[in-house]
Chains A and B, each alone.
Chain A
Amino acid sequence: MKTYDMAELAVRNLRESFLRNSLTTVGISVGVASLVAMLSLGIGLQQLAGRRLEKSGLFDTVVVTSRRDLRSFSREQEETGPAPAESPTLNEDARQKIAQLPDVIEAYPDIRFITELRYEDKPYLTMMAGLPFSAKNNDAFDGMQGNFFSSDTASEVILQKSFAAQLLGKTPKAGAEEPSVVELAKPLLGKQLTMRYSERTATPAAGAADTKENSSNPAGASYSVVSHEVTLKIVGVCDLDPDSMRGQARARIFLPLKLAQNLHVMQPSDLRDTTNLASGAPAYTTVEVHVKSPTQVQPVEDAIKKMGFNTFSIVDATRSLRQFFAVLDLFLGIFGSLALAVASIGIINTLVMAILERRREIGIMKAIGASDGDVKGLFFAEAGVMGIFGGIVGVALGWTIGRVINLGTNVYLKRQHFPPEQIWFVPWWLVLGAIGFAIVVSLLSGLYPASRAARLDPVQALRYE
């Protein structure tokens, strides 16, 4: 029998016992719906976590420190590699070398310092950090008021929301609602801040001296620290925290990285590297390396370690996080599939009943020339049609359930003063996959009834009235 004829007959047979077949199809729908709802929840949560983490730029970042800091991230790093005193200095040369490694997008020094800022004649003390121009596309600046720096050397700053609140004297009391970023930005954008900082300059004597003599006489190496003031313009107030991975040391005000470098602000590590500094290029406490994708973090880390520096990345943390979500998805999928398994028993039951009921009909069809394959195909097609309908209705149902969960969660989040989140997501592959899965499960369920119908002996089937 042709496939089209088979499908047509199957649909009309299904319509003959409409109620029973509808109930079976509803069973499949519920199964598919629970599967879709569960998986979409898993995917949504994964995306939520992934979005947060990837926005922070943590996954593709390697943090490089000098071994001279005597601050390694693990004992293993302390014990291997060159001794601290013999290890290279993390200076501009090293930074350039790292930047030239394959798969490295950029390597920039981390410049941060505690500074005093004056706003409307009141002093404020805070941590300030340089931001590379490439950070412009960082998702941490989503919802920022104002603009990003106009150039890499502009005398401009971006404030973190909490610092903006402090400047305005609006620091929220515990439990009270946070003022919105829009509110905070309005009075601040375009205003001036005065920053007082200590600039490190080569001493005039050393600077004028012959370099050759300088290097042969280390005792002559020196620099002076001069207090300076610079005026900075507030161009943006950001809602999120671009520096969240820094914890305690995180900055609440940001200036362009090139500007920060040009200011030669005295760094905590400068004291230690006095000798090196006096001779030329500045040394960095930390260099942050951006890698093209998280998968290339490991080789880049290895290459940097070979150069004699300490490295840190959270690729390992990512791995276990991904593992966690894979397991979560698996469990959600299993629970979702349970309902589908019950539904498939429903299909088997319905079709076996149909065989008993249509025993005579099967006998007639065989007597007038239906082959085993025709009979089998017919029952198979009935299972398949139930699967298709069940799958489509189920996906729609699951989508609706997900939407309702999402809506409910967001109402709850809003009450708890969290921003709304998409905790539930149905990708296209899930829609098609779920319908396909429903059809496959239905066909598998139809396998036994169909072959049982095909094996029916026509003489037996026709014997009794």
Chain B
Amino acid sequence: MPASQLESKVNSSIAIRAENLCRHYRMGEALIRAVDGISIQVASGEFVALLGTSGSGKSSLLNLIAGLDRPTSGTVVVENNDLAKLSREELAKYRLHTVGMVFQSFNLIPSMTLLENVELPLRFAEVDRDKRDGLARQALDRVGLGARLRHRPTELSGGEQQRASLARALINQPRFLLADEPTGNLDSQTGTEIMNFIREFNETLGMTIIMVTHERALAERYASRLIFLADGKLLGDQSNAASAATVQTSGGGL
């Protein structure tokens, strides 16, 4: 893909804007500041890695962007949607159409076949029955699982399960892919396989990627920008020149 074309896209808009974002919660007596005053902006088409040790608040931040959780204070605006102001119903629509999620533990529904798992978001989106099947097959084909449609998740390897969950995340054609330690449960070879898929989505579909990881090496290899968190606070934010070999980025960061 010509670099100039991508650059114009990246610069075209600010996709995610968080301002003084906080998420505090109580655990017994203690007040946990999982996210504590974070302000960041992410441009459309970026591949951002959220780095930090466990408990640094990176997953909490991802959940806030995903609309799974609501901030205690501050704002997070995704494509002009102020998530704090959306109703529960609107937030569900946002999760359905705007973002796709993958998790460390894959989170496929064990009682359903791969095809049914991938089809599930289409059901929630009320897509017609006859269209659903084709779309789900297509999505599974794309991640190389076209031959395992009728298998249940437990019959598959971790890598295959994560590929299926990628297919599910993409089925409603969201503009954001939010990945929470997507390779955390995989060996390095299958992890690479998954990361290559994610990179491909970023490059060919122009999806904005936010990936939570604690593996710096992985982040440096694939992400165009690295954001470091510790104790719920922003520790560092840098564009990643190393990955510029594959993805041209310009100063999307602050």
Contacts and interface: CB of A to CB of B under 8 A. Distances in A.
B65 to A, nearest CB: 13
Nearest to A365: B120
B63 A459 contact: yes
B162 interface: no
A299 to B, nearest CB: 60
A346 B121 CA distance: 31
B69 interface: yes
Contacts of A290: none
B89 A5 contact: no
Contact of B121 (A2, A16, A368, A465): A368
A369 B111 contact: no
Contacts of B169: 368
B114 to A, nearest CB: 14
A367 B95 contact: yes
Interface string A247-281: 00000000000000000000000000000000000
Interface in A1-59: 1-2, 5, 9, 12-13, 16
B172 interface: yes
Given A458-B68, A459-B68, A369 B107 contact: no
Contacts of A374: 92, 124
Contacts of B76: none
Interface string B92-122: 1101110011010101110100000000110
A370 B67 CA distance: 12
Contacts of B89: 371-373
Nearest to B110: A361
Interface in B56-112: 63, 66, 68-69, 88-89, 92-93, 95-97, 100-101, 103, 105, 107-109, 111
A1 B121 CA distance: 10
B168 interface: yes
Contacts of A370: 92, 96, 124
B125 interface: yes
Nearest to B94: A369
A366 B92 contact: yes
A221 interface: no
Among B100, B103, B120, max chain A CB count under 10 A is at B120
Contacts of A2: 123, 126
B69 A462 contact: no
B126 A462 contact: no
A279 B215 CA distance: 127
Interface string B124-151: 1110010000000000000000000000
Q: Nearest 6 CB-CB pairs, A to B?
A: A369-B96, A371-B92, A369-B95, A364-B107, A369-B124, A5-B123
25 contacts: A1-B123, A9-B123, A13-B111, A361-B109, A365-B109, A366-B92, A367-B68, A367-B103, A368-B100, A368-B101, A368-B120, A368-B169, A369-B95, A369-B96, A369-B97, A369-B124, A369-B125, A371-B92, A372-B88, A372-B92, A373-B89, A374-B92, A458-B68, A459-B69, A462-B103
Given A366-B92, A369-B121, 14 more contacts: A1-B126, A365-B124, A367-B103, A368-B124, A369-B96, A369-B172, A370-B92, A370-B124, A371-B92, A371-B93, A371-B96, A371-B124, A372-B89, A462-B107
